[in-house]
Amino acid sequence: MSYRVGVDIGGSFTDFCVLEEETRRLISLKVLSTPFAPGQEVVDGIRELERRFGIRPADISYFTHGTTVGINSVIQRKGIDLWLFATEFFCDVLEMARLKMPDPYDIFSRRPAPLVPRHKVLGIRERMLADGTVDVPLDRESLAAAVETAQRAGAEGIVVSFLHAYRNPAHEREAIELITELAPEIAVSSATEVWPAVREYERTMTALVAGYVQPRVSHYLSSLQRALSEIGVPAEAFITTSNGGVMRAELGKKRCAQMLLSGTASGVIGASYVAAMCGRKNVMSFDVGGTSVDVAFIIDGKAQYGTGELVGEFPIFIPTVSVTSVGEGGGSIARLDRQGVLKVGPESAGSTPGPACYGKGGTQPTITDAFAVCGHIGQADLGYNAIKVDVDKARQALATIASALGLGVEQTAEAVIEVATSGTYVEVAKLVSRYGLDPADFSLVAFGGAGPMLACFLARELGIKEVVVPPTPGVLSAFGGLVADIKSDFIRTVYLDMEPTVLDRLKESYDKLKVKATDWLTNEQAYEGPATLLYSAEMRYRGQSYEIEVPFDESWIENGDWNRLIGAFHSEHERIYGYSDPASAAQIMNLRLVIVGTVPRPELPSAPLREAVPVPARQGRLFLSGRWLDAPLYERSELKPGHRFEGPAVVMQADATTCIPESFAADVDSFGNLCIRPTN
């Protein structure tokens, strides 16, 4: 028997989702994360899989893993001592940025301190013109002096980002060779290696974030590979990537920019799979872990992608699944501010010490403790018996706040849940307004350890008509890694006026991208199956400052179909902005190519619907709307397709708890999803 294993590391738990290849059976598991020893939780989980389910490490044929080590290094400012070598007289790129205030509604807002302070940005004498011709050759003495300065100061890494290198990277390549020769102990990379696109700040910032974390990511991945080998796992490790795909861990050591947002992207891919399975085209994914609430939109069955997503406080401009952190997770700490107002988060108890009810030494009240006090959790063990909920400790943690507010512990706990819901509501409302979406048109797919607890409360505030809870919601991000394809993005800046005379140049440039992409998939990923190529271009009307991405059909490029190419741009502009101007001149800035190698996907079993009222495992007491209520407690494993029941109720399972308030009813569909809808 062979097994495919997906792993996702969160702030509190590390999730495992296992596909038994012959039977297509899914197995899930959670173990506590070990932030003090990153990677140890993977080893612990594999050992636990063998102990509980008899899954031997030697039988693991495929292993994919989402990691937060890169993004955490940026958030915690624990990357390397990094320096930037820029073109002489162009050393203020980080301070200039895009000349935008972080918060236009706060005149006292400040930009975050840069990853590379100004005194560590050194100018190198060289100049490449916008057309790629050399104006000033690279001055090797200038470069050598800069290397010596960085060496004396103890630099651990250098990023080279020269003006117009996207057109001609010769100077960056020459600089890399000389730096490697003069200072082989220093990690060095160039901006065009990371993302060779026009615009100095965007290209430089992306390269700096990647360079800042690269040695730490490389060390982590090497440790992971070694640990898997020592424990007896023969499968090569794959890493989930920010664009919703996977790549070999060995390649991730060099291309770590592509995996900075890997965990959140995996969750959206898992939610997309669930949405397609149960026939929902428009879905809002709602991923609540121990630390954060992550929201993404799936429209017409497709996850949305974008650039400029934040890694900590800094944007990266490679394509990523569009995920926004909008609130606090289950481990977020409740407190009173100086004015005595109840606040929740953003500080989190994490997995160590964790919420007070975990009994691991935590004493500060969290959202999870509030749910424990209200009776929603504590009726069964959590995390596959990794946690035994201690309601008394949760009550003790909330008692101090309750006393200060002059409320009972239960009323305070419910207030914490309401404040957390309200904070998430405000941010989601901003998000849907920005994109011009109506929440009533979307189903909410709730997952993560705390997503199903909070989903109905948020849906009620937003006017969402349905909440979908997958069969194993607590490990959906790990499941997303199992169904993610091998995938990578390639870009080439051309900066051309869109006229019929440029068709040959477009075809030539796309052909070069195709060769590069195919080489990546077949040689670097050792992939031998069928591949899909997705063509697009970033275009704008002449005079506009920013572009839109326009999908192309490969045949339009091969056949030089000018009318379809330009027509696609006008149509996309009309769709996004509500207008287009076919009489105006258009420009094409960047050519984009995505290559996709498909992986085997599980065929989840379905069963016919047999309408019935399920029998609860037992009765419990829930505190809702300011009073205690008797409510049924259901075991998720006992709920079958066709079962229907009304709230208030709680559905218990090893990886998550689903809370169904009053005025909601739940149906179990043919795939075992809980479909929860308001009854009024």
| Cβ neighbours for 277, distance < 8 A, ≥ 6 positions apart | 604, 671, 673
> Which pLDDT score, from 0 to 100, does residue 14 have?
86
Report pLDDT digits (tens) over 372-412: 999 998 877 666 677 788 999 999 999 999 999 999 999 99
**Nearest residue to 356 via CA among 333, 381, 326:** 333
- Average pLDDT in the 613-628 region? 93
Please identify, among 480, 500, 522, the residue that sits at the C-terminal boundary of a domain: 480
Q: Domain count of the chain?
A: 6
For the packed helices 409-435 and 391-405, what is the interaxial angle rounded to 10 degrees?
80
Tell me the residue type at 175: A
Identify whether residues 25 and 155 lie together within a single domain. no
157 in Cβ contact with 188 (< 8 Å):
yes
Q: Are residues 97 and 160 in the same domain?
A: yes
Within a domain: residue 613?
Answer: no
Q: What percent of the chain has pLDDT over 70?
A: 98
C-alpha 84 chain-centroid distance: 27
Residue 205 maps to a domain: yes
Per-residue pLDDT, 231: 92
Retrieve residue 216's tokens.
């730490």
Q: Decide if pLDDT at 120 tops 90.
A: yes
The confidence band for 514, taking pLDDT boundaries of 50, 70 and 90, is very high
Indicate if 449 and 510 belong to the same structural domain: no
With respect to residue 267, please indicate whether it lies within any of the assigned structural domains.
no
Instruction: Tell me whether residue 604 is in a domain.
Output: no
68 vs 78: CA distance, rounded Å: 13
3-state helix, strand, coil in the chain (%, to 5): 35, 30, 35
Q: Is the pLDDT of residue 108 over 90?
A: no
pLDDT in tens, 437-484: 899 999 999 998 889 999 999 999 999 999 999 999 989 999 999 999
Interior/surface letters 588-616, b for 16+ CB within 10 angstroms, e for the rest = bbbbbbbbbbebeebebeeeeeeeeebeb
Domain boundary among 597, 627, 649: 597
Write out the residue range of the structural domain in which residue 239 sits: 3-73+217-259
Query: Residue 548 pLDDT > 90, yes or no?
Result: yes
Does a structural domain hold residue 265?
no
Residue 272 lies in a domain: no
268 inside domain: no
Residues 182, 131: one domain?
yes
pLDDT in tens, 183-195: 999 999 999 999 9
Residues 105 and 188 both lie in one domain: yes
Looking at the predicted structure, is the pLDDT value of residue 197 above 70?
yes
Instruction: Write down the pLDDT at residue 383.
Output: 62
Residues 530 and 398 in one domain: no
The pLDDT confidence band at residue 30, using thresholds 50, 70 and 90, is confident
Same domain, 310 and 425: yes
User: What is the mean pLDDT of the segment spanning 568-596?
Assistant: 94
Kindly state whether residues 500 and 554 are assigned to the same domain. Answer: yes
Condensed to tens digits (0 to 9), the pLDDT of residues 278-321 reads 899 999 999 988 777 889 999 988 888 888 777 778 888 888 88
DSSP H/E element including 64? strand 60-66
CA pair distance 43, 33, nearest whole angstrom:
11
**Could you tell me the CA-to-CA distances from 333 to 11, 305, 404, 481, 509 in Å, in that order?**
14, 31, 16, 30, 52
The answer to whether 208 and 70 have CB atoms below 8 angstroms apart is: no
The pLDDT tens digits of the residues spanning 631-666 come to 999 999 999 999 999 989 999 998 889 999 999 999
Do residue 98 and residue 175 come from a single domain? yes
Position 351 scores a pLDDT of: 65
- Rg of the chain, C-alpha, whole Å: 26
- Range in 45-54, 315-324, 406-415, 560-569 the model is least confident about: 315-324
Average pLDDT, the chain: 90
pLDDT of amino acid 72: 74
Looking at the structure, tell me whether residues 344 and 235 fall in a common domain.
Answer: no
Residue 338 has a pLDDT of 86
Each residue's pLDDT tens digit, 143-176: 999 999 999 999 999 999 999 999 999 999 999 9
Helix axes of 200-231 and 40-53: crossing angle, nearest 10 degrees = 40
CA 669 to chain centre: 28
Q: Which of 94-108, 249-263, 399-413, 428-442 has the lowest mean pLDDT?
A: 94-108
* Residue 520 located in a structural domain: yes
**Whole-prediction pTM:** 0.86
- At 11 the pLDDT is 65
Q: Are residues 198 and 122 in the same domain?
A: yes
DSSP-based three-state secondary structure for 178:
helix
Instruction: Check whether residue 60 and residue 197 sit in a common domain.
Output: no
3-state secondary structure 620-652: EEEEECCEEEEEEEEEHHHCCCCEEEECCEEEE
User: 417, 436, 455: which is the final residue of a domain?
Assistant: 417
Give the CATH number, domain containing residue 509.
Answer: 3.30.1490
d(CA 83, CA 158): 5
